[in-house]
Structure formats: structure tokens, C-alpha cells
């Protein structure tokens, strides 16, 4: 049974966002890897003040290729666990034959699934900004407190924003709308078991969307499960009480992971960056 976990972050966060999960899982004896997206590998405050000039060109193809390369460096096939856009990347990587089990937490919109009303509203600051497809975008503190981390006490908004929030490439949003890059083969007979976790207070990736993804992923013959934490926001992997989500995700993955994860396999799909 694998002892390796890869944690995949979504937009507006980088690998630092997994520091709680990482320490929690390492204390249980697991090897945990937390790759950044390209050009996201500095402290959040540095990234906000001086984002890498190439970040604006980062799109879905480049991120998926980067994550595939990171998986191939591992000595055994990992459990893949992603949040938000990282939950979409997790599903794509599973679809391509990577991982012994997957967990998609608050997965962002996935090709073929109707957008939730909260997802539409939350995407407007990026999609409504002219030229955002070729610019680096910054999240406001108001947006963070009111939509991204809406379950946090108001007196903790600045602290968490300063510690975790990073700029992101607008291109990631446009890739998701204008292309089918995020398309997943729902009935893939080779896909590893998958758990979908949603949040009842999520104003970025509506729980209704998580349920819709679950209904489609159930078409695959491997085990697919759904868990909604009704009192959690999109910030569920960091906000107080995150340990419950972390334990639920890992327990499910270990109970359902495929055996024999001693090698990394791939369906051979590859995209240029």
C-alpha cells in the first residue's frame, strides 16, 4: 500500500496552503509532496509584491504537464488530493492513469458540468476584467473575506490573507471556459477510486456542482464517493476544523486505494506547455 501523498493546490493559493495537511499526514508516517504551480514557488507576500513575469502565461496545459513530471519523480504511485482547481487537476490525472486513489476537495468547475450560481458570481472579477486572459490577477481582501473564506471570523481575515493568498494567472480561468482541456472521461474503466468533498457554505465551487460531478464520475466502474461538509467554506483545508476534512479524506483514500502502487503508469496522453 502506498505511503506517498501528493497535495495539489488550486488558484489563489500555493503549496504553503497545505502546511497543515502536510504536517498532519507526515506525523502519521506518510511521505507528502506539495508541488507548486509554475512560478508560484515563493512566500505569498513576495508573490503578491512581485509576481513572476511569466506567471501571466501559465495555463492548464502547463500546470498538468508540470504535475505529471512531479508524479514521475516519485518512487511509488501516490494518493492524489487536490483542492478547487487542484481538484480538477486530480480528476484529470486520475483519468490519465496516475494515482492509486484520488480526493477532489471543493472541485472547481469541470468541463460538462453546469456552473453553480456562486461560481458564476465569484468568477466575474476575473472574467469581467478586460485582458485578464493575459494578465496576472490579484484577489482583494474583501473578496477573500466575503466569498473565499466566508466562514472565517472577520477579525482573522487579514491574518489568513497575508499568510496564504497569492496572485494567479487569469489564463487558467479562460482555459476552463474556452477550451475542453478539463474534460474528463466519466466512464473511464481504468480510473482509480475517487472521493469528492464539497462545502455547504462554499461560494466559489457550489456544493451543487460537487454533487453534479459525483453523478457523472459514478459512471466509472471504480468506487466513487461523495461527502458534503455542510458548515464549511471554500477555505476548508485551512479554516479552523480542517483536521476533520484531512482525516476523512485520508481514511477514505487508504481504505479504497488500489494495491500495488509501486510504479507510475500513464495512459500516454501528453500536452506541450
pLDDT tens sequence across 186-203? 999 999 999 999 999 999
- The pLDDT-based confidence of 119 (bands split at 50, 70, 90) is confident
- Could you tell me the CATH number of the domain that includes residue 192? 3.40.50.1820
In a domain, 46, yes or no: yes
Task: Work out the average pLDDT over 100-115.
Answer: 92
Residue 269 lies in a domain: no
pLDDT tens string 126-175: 888 888 888 999 999 999 999 999 999 999 999 999 999 999 999 988 88
Q: Is residue 166 situated within a structural domain?
A: yes
Asked if residues 102 and 195 have their Cβ atoms less than 8 Å apart, the reply is yes
Cell 480542517, residue? Answer: 242
Q: How many CA atoms lie within 13 A of 272 on its CB side?
A: 0
Domain range for residue 117?
4-256
Mean pLDDT of the chain: 92
Please choose, from the candidates 10, 179, 155, 195, the residue with its C-alpha nearest in 3D space to the C-alpha of residue 84. Answer: 10
Q: Do the domain assignments include residue 266?
A: no
**Residue 80 contacts by C-beta under 8 Å, 6 or more apart in sequence?**
6, 8, 90, 93, 94, 98, 99, 101, 102, 103
88 belongs to a structural domain: yes
Residue 270 lies in a domain: no
Query: CA 197 → CA 1, 72, 249, distances in Å?
Result: 23, 26, 8
| Residue 218 DSSP code | T
pLDDT band at 180 (very low <50, low <70, confident <90, very high): confident
Does 267 map to a domain?
A: no
The reply to whether the predicted model has a pTM over 0.85 is yes
- Tally the domains of the chain: 1
pLDDT value at 182 more than 80? no
Report if residue 263 sits inside a domain. Answer: no
Amino acid at each position: 500500500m502506498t505511503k506517498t501523498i501528493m497535495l495539489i493546490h488550486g488558484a489563489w493559493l500555493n503549496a504553503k496552503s497545505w502546511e497543515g495537511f502536510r504536517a498532519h499526514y507526515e506525523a502519521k508516517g506518510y511521505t507528502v509532496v506539495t508541488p507548486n504551480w509554475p512560478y508560484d514557488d515563493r512566500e505569498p507576500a513576495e508573490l503578491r509584491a512581485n509576481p513572476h513575469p511569466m506567471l501571466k502565461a501559465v495555463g492548464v496545459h502547463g500546470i498538468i504537464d508540470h504535475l505529471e513530471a512531479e508524479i514521475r519523480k516519485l518512487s511509488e504511485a501516490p494518493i492524489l488530493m487536490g483542492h478547487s482547481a487542484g481538484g480538477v487537476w486530480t480528476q484529470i490525472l486520475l483519468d490519465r492513469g496516475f494515482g492509486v486513489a484520488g480526493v477532489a476537495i471543493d472541485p472547481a468547475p469541470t468541463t460538462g458540468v453546469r456552473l453553480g450560481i456562486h461560481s458564476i458570481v465569484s468568477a466575474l472579477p476575473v472574467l469581467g476584467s478586460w485582458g485578464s486572459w493575459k494578465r496576472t490577477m490579484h484577489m482583494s481582501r474583501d473578496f477573500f473575506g466575503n466569498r473565499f473564506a466566508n466562514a472565517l471570523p472577520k477579525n482573522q481575515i487579514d491574518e489568513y490573507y497575508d499568510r496564504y493568498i497569492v496572485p494567479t494567472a487569469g489564463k487558467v480561468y479562460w482555459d476552463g471556459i474556452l477550451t475542453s482541456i478539463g474534460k474528463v472521461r466519466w466512464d473511464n474503466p481504468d480510473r482509480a477510486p475517487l472521493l469528492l468533498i464539497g462545502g455547504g457554505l462554499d461560494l466559489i465551487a457550489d456544493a451543487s456542482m460537487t454533487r453534479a460531478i459525483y453523478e457523472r464520475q459514478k459512471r466509472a466502474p471504480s468506487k466513487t464517493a461523495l461527502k458534503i461538509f455542510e458548515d464549511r467554506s471554500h477555505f476548508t483545508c485551512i479554516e479552523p476544523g480542517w483536521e476533520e476534512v484531512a482525516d476523512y479524506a485520508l481514511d477514505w483514500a487508504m481504505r479504497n486505494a488500489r494495491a500495488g502502487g509501486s510504479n507510475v503508469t500513464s495512459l500516454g496522453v501528453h500536452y506541450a506547455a
